[in-house]
Structure 1
Amino acid sequence: MSYLSILDFGDHEKEIDPFYVWGCNFSIRKKVLLEAGGFHPDSMPDQLLHLRGDGESHVSRFIAARGYGSVYVPSASVFHFVPKSRMTVDYFRKRAFSQGVSDSYTRLRLNPSDNDKIVMDLRPLGRLMRSAIFRHILGSLLPADAFVRANIDQAYHEGFMWHLHRFLTDGDVRSWVLKENYLEPLNQ
């Protein structure tokens, strides 16, 4: 249930993979966060979505690479109210699109030498899925959960490709994605 940030490893403290540490509910030693260069940008307003990064995922990769530990502490739980609006297909599509943007960002940062070789293009699938007639036909043929999953997957791929296109065609986005340290002032 990662799109809802639901995580429950039981009633006892235990070591966990740092990739199960999500930004909506964790604490970190300041020293480690500074060593990692801070969080990558995340949770951007719609007009700045092209600047979205991968948030705490960068910090999780840093922690894993350094061999630092991550601990699940059930008593540190935070309860979030999830409004009805976050339980719709439209919400999950928007969330998946944003995740596609973040995953594009991560791929571009982790493999900068391959950025000029990127050949993947799923835009025809996106155009087809945006067709109301196609979605209506697909919705009548597939079980509801498979139709919802197809919609979410399609939105994810759209977000990934949208961000990738912005990176390849906009030098400012490219500079932002490849910025070494987000704790430095913006003008450096």
Structure 2
Amino acid sequence: MPTLNRDNLLKSTIKSLCLQCFSPDRFEILVVDNGSTDNTKDITRAAINEFSPHQIRYIYEPEPGLLSGRHRGALEAKGEILTFVDDDIEADPEWLRAIKESFDDPTVKLVGGRNLPKYEVEPPAWLEWFWTEHPFGKVCVNLSLLDFGDQVREINANYVWGLNFSIRKSALFELGGFHPDCISKHLQHFQGDGETGLTQKANAKGYKAIYQPKALLFHQVLKQRMTYEYFDRRYFYQGVCDSYSEIRRNNSQLILNAPKEGFIETIKRPLRFLKKAANRIVNRQTEQEMLQQRFYKAYQDGYQFHQSAVREKPELLNWILRKDYWDYKLPEFSATHD
């Protein structure tokens, strides 16, 4: 579990991992502190004392970005099954046992689960608009929420999301590990496509991925995430990620305009609800157009920021096109981001 300055959430997250219906001698908990300046270390130390039968380890990793926390954890882990979680989740007591049972099938390489919301405050009505229908259920990509129902099913590996991401260690290394992710604002030009790059390679290799409904966790959705401003930042970030992916896919070729099909995938489908609501709410079509334009601009800004950073600093291509990132130290140059 990589973590950064989330001491207000960390205690409940660790507690939920320690209250699993799974023998504590069969798993370890690695808390990878990614340079926190709050009470993260003290809270982890307190958990180590409170849950002494559990194998909880505190690891300090100062290199910025989620990538460094994930890879440091993978390199330190003793087990053959690796489970990555965010520091703002609470796991159901049956979560870990369900993951282990899924991997009893030797053909399974990745396991994802049901990710449901735990709202800090009553969510605004418009938040429901961003749930997208899927043949298996529904998803809210912007808040990393996914519900594919009660049945175990084989899925596209791209639906194994980073907050609830389990993989055989051998498969993680065969795929080259994760790509850069969750880079702080002043280092945003080093952002990549995170676990998506890895799961795309898993799909290409035909790796079997499973949705396990009992691998249930609750994602804490804070008040500040339920704002248009947060969604602006989320789509800017998506634009950066998609620029990175496009450059890798096209072997270093820059694409001057963000591909609208990528944006349609991430924003247009979640707004389809507006057409259904048009008969109930006056001027809803106008609001649909407003939101689509607003978030597409944020997405386009992120995409263009990344493309411009590569043109400004051509050496950034060496970072983007790396075979893997196990040597995860960031290069020492900057790019402009207003």
- Superposition TM-score, scaled by structure 1 size: 0.82
3-state SS of paired residue (2:164): coil
Please name the residue that 1:158 is paired with: 301
3-state SS of paired residue (1:176): helix
Please name the residue that 1:137 is paired with: none
Aligned residue pairs: how many? 169
Q: Find the structure with the greater CA-based Rg.
A: 2
Bigger RCO (CA 8 Å, 6+ sep): 1
Which of 303, 311, 327 is the equivalent residue of 1:184? 327
3-state SS of paired residue (2:146): coil
3-state SS of paired residue (2:220): coil
Please name the residue that 2:318 is paired with: 175
Query: Structure 1 residue 11 and structure 2 residue 154: aligned?
Result: no
3-state SS of paired residue (1:163): helix
- Whichever structure has more strand as a proportion of its residues is 2
**Identity %, equivalent residues:** 40
Query: Structure 1 residue 56 and structure 2 residue 195: aligned?
Result: yes
Give me the whole-angstrom Cα distance separating, in 1, the residues matched to 2:328 and 2:232. 33
Give me the whole-angstrom Cα distance separating, in 2, the residues matched to 1:47 and 1:187. 12
Give me the whole-angstrom Cα distance separating, in 2, the residues matched to 1:87 and 1:185. 32
Give me the whole-angstrom Cα distance separating, in 2, the residues matched to 1:53 and 1:72. 25
For residues 29-178 of structure 1, what are the structure 2 equivalents within 5 Å?
Answer: 29-112=168-251, 115=253, 118-120=255-257, 143-178=286-321
Amino acid at match of 1:152: F
- Superposition TM-score, scaled by structure 2 size: 0.47
Following TM superposition, by how much is the alpha carbon of 1:120 offset from its aligned partner in structure 2, in angstroms? 2.9
> Gaps spanning 5+ residues in structure 1: where?
123-139
Amino acid at match of 1:34: F
Following TM superposition, by how much is the alpha carbon of 1:185 offset from its aligned partner in structure 2, in angstroms? 5.4
Give me the whole-angstrom Cα distance separating, in 2, the residues matched to 1:187 and 1:119. 25
Contact map agreement 1:89 1:148 (CA 8 A) in 2: no
Amino acid at match of 1:87: M
Give me the whole-angstrom Cα distance separating, in 1, the residues matched to 2:257 and 2:205. 32
Amino acid at match of 1:177: I
Please name the residue that 2:132 is paired with: none
3-state SS of paired residue (1:71): strand
Q: 1:160 to 1:185 in 2, by over 3 A?
A: closer
Following TM superposition, by how much is the alpha carbon of 1:91 offset from its aligned partner in structure 2, in angstroms? 0.3
Greater than 6 Å deviation, 4+ residue runs: none
Amino acid at match of 2:156: D
- Whichever structure has more helix as a proportion of its residues is 1
Give me the whole-angstrom Cα distance separating, in 2, the residues matched to 1:83 and 1:158. 25
Contact map agreement 2:256 2:307 (CA 8 A) in 1: no
3-state SS of paired residue (1:38): coil
Output one character per residue of 1:9-44: Cα deviation in whole Å (capped at 9) or x when no partner.
Answer: 101110011111111111111111111111001011
Give me the whole-angstrom Cα distance separating, in 2, the residues matched to 1:163 and 1:25. 28
Following TM superposition, by how much is the alpha carbon of 1:105 offset from its aligned partner in structure 2, in angstroms? 0.2
Please provide the CA RMSD for this pair: 2.2
